[in-house]
Amino acid sequence: MRRRTHGDRTPLNAEINVVSLIDVMMLLLVIFMMTAPLMQGGVDVQLPKTEARALEPKGGLVVSVAANGRVYADETPMSLAEFKASFKALSSRAGRDGVYVRADQGAPYGVVAQVLATIQKAGIVNVGLVTEPETVQP
């Protein structure tokens, strides 16, 4: 084996070590797989099941009514009185594309009716009631 002298250079290694890049990619994939379900926000409600056909999801203000009668504008909890007082301002900012009402199947009917009346009073005509599709059993 010949000794290197001060002027000799080592030959260049033209290979790319992709093993470390694959490790980083796999780590990022695992992180995204674990956090993706957590990114789906919203209020946890049990939507009623219907045979209505699915529509294209659009942007817009989502108003949720929980089983205990609590009203949520997007994910902000408020009482029915607070919702009535602040809906006009909320709809002017976020209600241009319509309002989607997600009411729990056990929510008090009176609260849902008052939410719908408040939306109508604000002049919103594009209102959608969100449901889940029925599962067909063979």
What's the pLDDT tens digit per position in 79-121? 888 988 888 888 776 656 788 888 888 888 999 999 999 988 8
C-alpha to C-alpha distance for 82 and 111, rounded to whole angstroms? 13
Q: How confident is the model at residue 76 (pLDDT cuts 50, 70, 90)?
A: confident
Q: How confident is the model at residue 124 (pLDDT cuts 50, 70, 90)?
A: confident
CATH class of the structural domain 49-133 = alpha beta
Domain definitions of the chain by residue range: 49-133
- For 41-74, how does the pLDDT look when each residue is reduced to its tens digit (9 = 90+)? 666 776 777 777 766 667 788 889 998 889 998 8
Quote the distance between the C-alpha of residue 63 and its chain's center: 13
Is the model's pLDDT at 137 over the cut of 60?
Answer: no
Find, among 60, 65, 50, 51, the residue nearest to 106 by Cα: 65
